[in-house]
């Protein structure tokens, strides 16, 4: 009897562990067909892909992610981005998703590069939407991979910023990243919902991820749908420099588009995605 009780307790512990092990994201699944995994950009929810999923779910099984600390998904402890990456790999293996295509915007695109460079035989293709292997190199002059600590003056200022100032900062940033006025409102609403600690420390996780050398390990096709704003020549030079270790990458530039390509050039974007999935 005692042995039976121990086995029952052990069983429930295992079940509990399997239920609660996935804490780094929430996933919604729509449609049937070949699997497509859709990762949003920083601060956004999986709803950023609503229009995309409306089309792709007709022919594909769409796995739409919202990361911890964004939308209504509870935050997790640091390291935030590494935990997401590890749990995505577990998710794919547990669900037995075969030859999934990854579609990632911004942070989601960088995460896709990380996954494909680490798990070289797990995925079929990457469709990257305006994302780089080293975000910090875009923002920090002469960046050489220096690690940024969580505890720094800029982070403290952001953590202590009142909500009105925080919303104003994000609203200004959104106006540069998205040309679609209606979608700017949606993005700003998502930013108001973010867990502040995730916003600050999660962004540092992204800045500390430098995949410029790691992407040389990627074996599958990589297609980038990039914004052309603010200046196409500058953008092209940036992509050429950052992806020089992945010479097989295919880059296409959306005219008159800022960072949210799927919102600024929706028809162009959808046509390109459908073509690549075929």
Task: Give pLDDT, residue 141.
Answer: 85
pLDDT of residue 147: 94
User: Can you give the pLDDT at residue 22?
Assistant: 80
pLDDT of residue 273: 98
Closest CA to 230 of 198, 204, 255, 266: 255
Residue 103 buriedness (CB in 10 A; 0-12 / 13-18 / 19+): buried
What pLDDT is attached to residue 21? 67
Instruction: Give the pLDDT of the chain (278 residues) as one tens digit per residue.
Output: 444 444 444 443 443 344 446 899 999 999 999 999 999 999 999 999 999 999 999 999 999 999 999 999 999 999 999 999 999 999 999 999 999 999 999 999 999 999 999 999 999 999 999 999 999 999 888 898 899 999 999 999 999 999 999 999 999 999 999 999 999 999 999 999 999 999 999 999 999 999 999 999 999 999 999 999 999 999 999 999 999 999 999 999 999 999 999 999 999 999 999 999 98
Tell me if residue 25 falls in helix, strand or coil.
Answer: strand
pTM to 2 decimal places: 0.92
Among residues 193, 174, 176, which one has the least CA distance to residue 184? 174
The two beta strands, 60-67 and 123-129, are unpaired
- Looking at residue 4, its pLDDT comes to 47
Q: How far is it, in rounded angstroms, from Cα 131 to Cα 62?
A: 21
Residues 6 or more apart whose Cβ sits within 8 Å of residue 16: none
Query: Which residues contact residue 169 at a Cβ distance below 8 angstroms, ignoring those fewer than 6 apart?
Result: 161
Domains in the chain with CATH codes = 24-277 (3.40.50.1820)
Separation between Cα atoms, residue 131 and residue 211, nearest integer Å: 12
pLDDT at 2: 47
Whether the bond between 79 and the residue before it is cis, its omega within 30 degrees of 0, is: yes
């Amino acid at each position: 009897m005692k042995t039976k009780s121990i086995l029952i307790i052990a069983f429930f512990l295992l079940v509990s562990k399997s239920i609660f092990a996935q804490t780094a994201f929430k996933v919604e699944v729509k449609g049937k067909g070949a699997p497509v995994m859709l990762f949003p950009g920083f601060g956004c929810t999986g709803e950023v892909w609503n229009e995309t999923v409306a089309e792709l779910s007709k022919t594909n099984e769409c796995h739409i992610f919202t990361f911890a600390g964004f939308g209504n998904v509870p935050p997790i402890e640091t390291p935030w981005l590494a935990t997401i990456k590890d749990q995505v790999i577990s998710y794919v293996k547990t669900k037995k998703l075969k030859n999934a295509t990854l579609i990632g915007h911004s942070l989601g695109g960088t995460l896709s590069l990380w996954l494909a460079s680490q798990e070289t035989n797990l995925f079929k293709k990457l469709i990257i939407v305006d994302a780089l292997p080293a975000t910090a190199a875009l923002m920090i002059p002469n960046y050489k991979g220096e690690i940024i600590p969580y505890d720094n003056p800029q982070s403290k200022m952001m953590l202590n910023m009142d909500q009105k100032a925080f919303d104003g900062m994000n609203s200004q940033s959104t106006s540069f990243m998205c040309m679609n006025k209606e979608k700017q409102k949606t993005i700003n609403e998502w930013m108001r919902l973010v867990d502040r600690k995730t916003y600050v420390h999660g962004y540092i996780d992204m800045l500390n991820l430098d995949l410029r050398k790691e992407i040389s390990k990627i074996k599958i096709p990589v297609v980038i749908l990039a914004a052309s704003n603010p200046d196409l020549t500058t953008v092209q030079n940036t992509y050429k420099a950052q992806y020089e270790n992945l010479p097989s990458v295919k880059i296409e530039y959306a005219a008159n588009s800022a960072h949210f390509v799927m919102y600024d050039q929706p028809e162009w974007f959808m046509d390109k995605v459908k073509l690549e999935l075929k």
